[in-house]
Structure 1
Amino acid sequence: MENIKHVFFDLDNTLWDYRRNANITLVKLYEEFQVEEKYGFTFKEFYPFYYESNEQLWADYRDGKVTKDELRARRFPEAFAEMGLPNFEHALEFERRFVDEVTTSNYVVEGAEEVLEYLKDKYTLHILSNGFEEVTHSKINGSIVKDYVQTITTAEGAGAPKPEPLAFQTSLDKAQAKAEESVYIGDDWIADMIGATRMGMHAIFFNPLNENHMWIEEVPVIEKLVELKEYL
């Protein structure tokens, strides 16, 4: 890719390892709330219900179907209900504790530090995340990511989630960057690749789970972050 001056990253599961960090926190809370002892469901049985609820609600947030407050109010109640515990009394407290504590684990995605170190002297690096303002900054400030990025933009701060143009334009403006001189790297095809290319940015799709996606000829697909060195 030629004439690139700015590299924009998604945060969760692109640089900050949300899956790993969330799993650590969920295991801790599941044990603390004694869910298995009281109701007979193991954490292994619970996790798929949480994962499905979380993924669907974040997709709905991306698509403007739910608000931040609705997402937080529904995530764990719906997960427990689908598991067979429709009246789990601690569901909202579980949510509050999860949000408070998930950022105490700050593992980054494999290869993130190597790639950031490689890119830092070649480009100006930025974050554009659909995450909420306070939590996003906590994740970044508690991890190595803070040492590399110059600007941070969230959907909440921009007033619109990716793939909405306002999210990308707000991030570009904050970075004082031109779309044609910028590349966006993320793991959500709709929010990240469709959103970025529609703005005239270059894009690289990070697809570590080998998920199905559409095809855009100009958008490379990588499964490991270190593969970015082949393009940048």
Structure 2
Amino acid sequence: MKDKIKHVFFDLDHTLWDFDKNSALTFKKIFELNSLDINLSTFLEAYEPINFKYWKLYREEQVTKEALRYGRLKDAFDAIKVEVEDDVINHLSDAYIDYLTTFNHLFDGTIDILDYLRDKYQLHIITNGFEEAQERKMHNANIREYFETITNSEMVGVKKPNPKIFNFALDSAKASPEQSVMIGDSLEADIEGAHNIGMETIYFDYKNLNNSNGYNRITSLKSLENYL
């Protein structure tokens, strides 16, 4: 892989930017600001699989951005049997997006691996995250400068694993699939999507689930040095 790759494409959330940690800190903040006496651990235990489900529906064009933002909170509060008025949920939804980018924890080794790669390859981002949030995340975490192109699902009109977003990203980077590798945490959205258009792939199994389906797999970003 080292010899033929010229372009390295990263997913952002759950790959470089530690979404789980930053999201938990955001909920703690907005619950405190709105005087909501909710056990954070109990809420997150319910919220995280619900959020995962809504993002899958969003990727598949079955829910809108607005439905995702409201539904994941409403369903989580219902799951833990806490009654929250709709206007409060809508306010929390907006506050969550506003405060999420004020926390900017990266996965261990993110800066080191980007420094290691930047002189050898052109680096890029392909993300399904909301455009307004993703740019702020990268700027606030001081990693925006590493990437030559940023491809967001909202600018393309489709989401990973749709081949259109990968082809758009390749065109923007003036890259061919054969010279490109995609690194991400989602087997469906990142790895299978990129593989299906001929890109090399490296699955970031940060939870160490050991479910790589035969794809190249790492459990730490430093391990990319074994491939690149």
Question: Which residues of 2 match residues 36-185 of structure 1 at below 5 A?
Answer: 36=37, 41-89=38-86, 90-185=88-183
Question: Match of 1:20?
Answer: 21
Deviation of 1:214 after TM superposition, in Å, equals 5.1
Q: Report the number of matched residues.
A: 226
Aligned partners of 2:19, 2:184: CA distance in 1, in Å? 13
Q: Deviations over 1:111-140 (max 9, x none)?
A: 111100000000000000010111111111
Question: Match of 1:5?
Answer: 6
Aligned partners of 2:174, 2:102: CA distance in 1, in Å? 32
Question: Which residues of 2 match residues 211-230 of structure 1 at below 5 A?
Answer: 211=209, 213=211, 215-216=213-214, 219-230=215-226
Preserved contact between residue 77 and residue 86 of structure 1 (Cα < 8 Å): no
Q: Deviations over 1:134-170 (max 9, x none)?
A: 1111111111221211110111111100000011011
Please state if 1:31 is matched with 2:29: no
Match of 1:152, SS state, is strand
Q: Which runs of 5+ in 2 are unaligned?
A: none
Q: Deviations over 1:86-124 (max 9, x none)?
A: 444521111110001100111111111110000000000
Normalised by the size of structure 1, how large is the TM-score? 0.93
- Percent identity over the alignment is 38
Deviation of 1:67 after TM superposition, in Å, equals 1.8
Deviation of 1:49 after TM superposition, in Å, equals 1.5
RMSD: 1.3
Aligned partners of 2:210, 2:90: CA distance in 1, in Å? 33
Aligned partners of 1:211, 1:86: CA distance in 2, in Å? 34
Normalised by the size of structure 2, how large is the TM-score? 0.95
AA aligned to 2:58 is Y
Q: Which runs of 5+ in 1 are unaligned?
A: none
Question: Match of 1:190?
Answer: 188
